[in-house]
Structure 1
Amino acid sequence: MSLAGKVAIVTGSGRGLGLAYAQELARQGASVVINDVDEATAAEAVASITDAGGQATAVVAPVGPSETAKQLVDAAFDAYGRLDILVTNAGVLRDTVLWKMSDDDFDTVINVHLRGTFTCVREAAIRMREQGEGGRIICIGSPTGQRGNFGQTNYAAAKAGIVGMVRTWALELKKAGITANAVIPVAATAMTATVPYFHAAVEADAKGEPMPEFFRSGLGFGTAADVAPLIAYLASEEAAGISGQAIGVGGDRLQLWSHPEPVESLFHEGGWDAEALIAEAGPVIAANLQSVGEKSPPLPEELQPPQA
């Protein structure tokens, strides 16, 4: 697999998962536009690529506004003359339960994740279509968007919306040779570092030690480096026939997420009234309730977090 001659933008790539994506794309030969809201962080990310012999430049700006999207795409063309790959990774968290979530908590997360993905993909698609050589759109989802998670109304809405947009873009951009896919990472991040359940895995990662097999194989939970190769693969010519998909990766596990499909279809002549719903539909609905949320097995005793 080679990305030599390709140019990529990775939003939110100053650190964490985004940085791992950018570094892997560069390792495979792509020139990369780094993005972060902190100038020093962005500069360090650029240096980590250029010091290894790659090419990178930075745009310091918050994702969300159309102006930032244009700035990112312009930077790719100004520095490298083209754009082939966009990875929309930038995001923020404002976790709290529904009845405590403020308008600002909701709007901030939606603006960065959902609107930011939309504005960046729109700008990239315009320029890729003008360029006329196809392209790769890779948007970062989350298990929360696929399954839901307590305390993450805003984040779940944004990540589910991103996957919905990806399916639509796969249809709209097909004729231009531009693929659109979602990646669902499960990895040690600043967010998982605060969750006691993942303490042993996050601690091992911080020490540069292998994560326990319980996490890597049992949960499909790993490091940022475990996710990055999938990003590079979807950006490559080898993945030209893959579009509109949601693909999960973490630790030793790769998951292909299904698209929503009807579980059952019922018909009632003349339409459904209350009596028919109670008598006919109710029992079928009750027998086919779909699960919500991620189900995690109990931690083995040796992996329990230290008690406060």
Structure 2
Amino acid sequence: MSLQGKVAIVTGSGRGLGLAYAQELARQGASVIINDVDEATAAEAVASIEQAGGTASAVVAPVGPTETAKKLVDAAYDTYGGLDIVVTNAGVLRDTVTWKMSDEDFDLVINVHLRGTFTVVREAATRMREAGTPGRIICIGSPTGQRGNFGQTNYAAAKAGIAGMVRTWALEFKKAGITANVVIPVAATAMTATVPYFAAAVEADAKGEPMPSFFRHDLGFGTAADVAGLIAYLASDEASGITGQAIGIGGDRLQLWSHPEPVATAYRDGGWTYESLREGFAEAVGELQSVGETFPPLPEELQPRPQA
């Protein structure tokens, strides 16, 4: 077990992807702090790990506040004597188009995803540096944060912000031997369960059957367990040289996302005026960048069937 003796915190790990991450870290030998807002859900998650021979305990609290971050990190040190791995997975959704999005919808998503990631990582990195621990920070991003998605202004902002923080943390934490990466999962979740396009894959997963190859290979869409291996790998000593990266995973597919880089550069003596941009912008920059994700048509046999 490559993580034997390590201690991990996984936020939002009562169910879904977070639970899969926690279970895999425990399977690899780590002692895990489970986090959820519901006490019964957290207790079930702990029990699932202990029944499999692993070690876990729970902190029931919403991420976002600094107080929760301190509780999580204190629990790791007080219960297991240290902290080596942090996975910031906790999140909520409040999807709606911008003109219908309330302040509360925006603030809640930003608070849980973005502020929750920041406060937990700040507390963990501070303690790791003090202890001289070469830790692993693994944050969870989304294709929405990389590409945008209709109806997800709040979520896109939070996930893009997480990727930006990770690139900064890779620089700030390097001297302390702490790596920071963002994982971009594509998997069956409560959110994708409501999307007709993924119905055949979600149905197969719910039945414990293999997902059709179209989803696993062509779309890189799989199960929570498909993502968990990357989490454990990035948490290991073998991944000590990987930091500041955005890594996508889902189904049979592994991807390394690029950092934002200029794709076209043009110069004009004296600078670019309004008039010169009107005349030369298109030629100077070339083809514009696309936004959002597009999916190929579903094969006939995988298309949702009308309800009788």
Task: State the alpha-carbon separation in 1 of the partners of residues 74 and 85 from structure 2.
Answer: 14
Aligned to 1:290: 289
Aligned partners of 2:76 and 2:82 also within 8 Å: yes
Q: Does 1:72 align with 2:87?
A: no
Per-residue deviation, 1:68 = 0.3
Q: How many residues align?
A: 307
Indicate the percent of aligned positions where both proteins have the same amino acid.
Answer: 82
- Cα deviation code 1:193-226 (max 9, x no counterpart): 0101000000000000000001000100000000
SS in 1 for 2:298: coil
After TM superposition, where is structure 1 displaced by more than 6 Å over at least 4 residues in a row?
Answer: none
Per-residue deviation, 1:280 = 2.0
Letter in 1 for 2:287: N
Aligned to 2:302: 303
Q: How does the TM-score come out when normalised to structure 2?
A: 0.98
Aligned to 1:224: 224
- Cα deviation code 1:229-260 (max 9, x no counterpart): 00000000000000000000000000000011
CA-based RMSD: 0.8
Per-residue deviation, 1:265 = 1.2
**Structure 1 unaligned residues grouped into runs of 5+:** none
Aligned to 1:208: 208
Q: Does 1:250 align with 2:250?
A: yes
Aligned to 1:46: 46
Aligned to 1:33: 33
Aligned to 1:169: 169
- Cα deviation code 1:55-81 (max 9, x no counterpart): 100000001000000000000011001
**Structure 2 unaligned residues grouped into runs of 5+:** none
Task: State the alpha-carbon separation in 1 of the partners of residues 109 and 305 from structure 2.
Answer: 32
Task: State the alpha-carbon separation in 1 of the partners of residues 228 and 158 from structure 2.
Answer: 22
Aligned to 2:61: 61
Letter in 1 for 2:123: E
Aligned partners of 2:145 and 2:155 also within 8 Å: yes
Q: Does 1:196 align with 2:189?
A: no
Aligned partners of 1:263 and 1:288 also within 8 Å: no
